[in-house]
Amino acid sequence: HGDTSLASAYELAGLSDIYLKNCDDALKNFDLSEQNSHRNEQTLRLYRATTYRDCFGDASAAQEFFDEYEKIERQSETPLDQL
């Protein structure tokens, strides 16, 4: 399943890259994080969306990832009538 410590390290490196405007490196680090652990795929979609929006300035690419993230969020929610 991968090394979750390594996956977390890549995730944090990617977040730092966004701040430093190292946009391509941020995406590479998020890919490496996903390759090392599949537990955070949903969070990585959000981070990729943020990279495209805030780092690349590409709102349309960002929206695709935001839409994927929101779709998964809705699917994981428990409807009130099922509680």
pLDDT tens sequence across 26-68 = 999 999 999 998 777 889 999 999 999 999 999 999 999 999 9
pLDDT tens by residue, 63-74: 999 999 999 888
Note the pLDDT of residue 39.
Answer: 73
User: In this model, does residue 82 exceed pLDDT 90?
Assistant: no
Please name which of 38, 42, 29 lies closest in space to residue 1, comparing C-alpha atoms: 38
Say which residues have a Cβ less than 8 Å from residue 3's Cβ, sequence separation at least 6.
36, 37
Q: Is 30 left (phi over 0), alpha (psi -120 to 50) or beta?
A: alpha
| Host H or E run for residue 33 | helix 23-36
User: In this model, does residue 1 exceed pLDDT 70?
Assistant: no
Note the pLDDT of residue 35.
Answer: 92
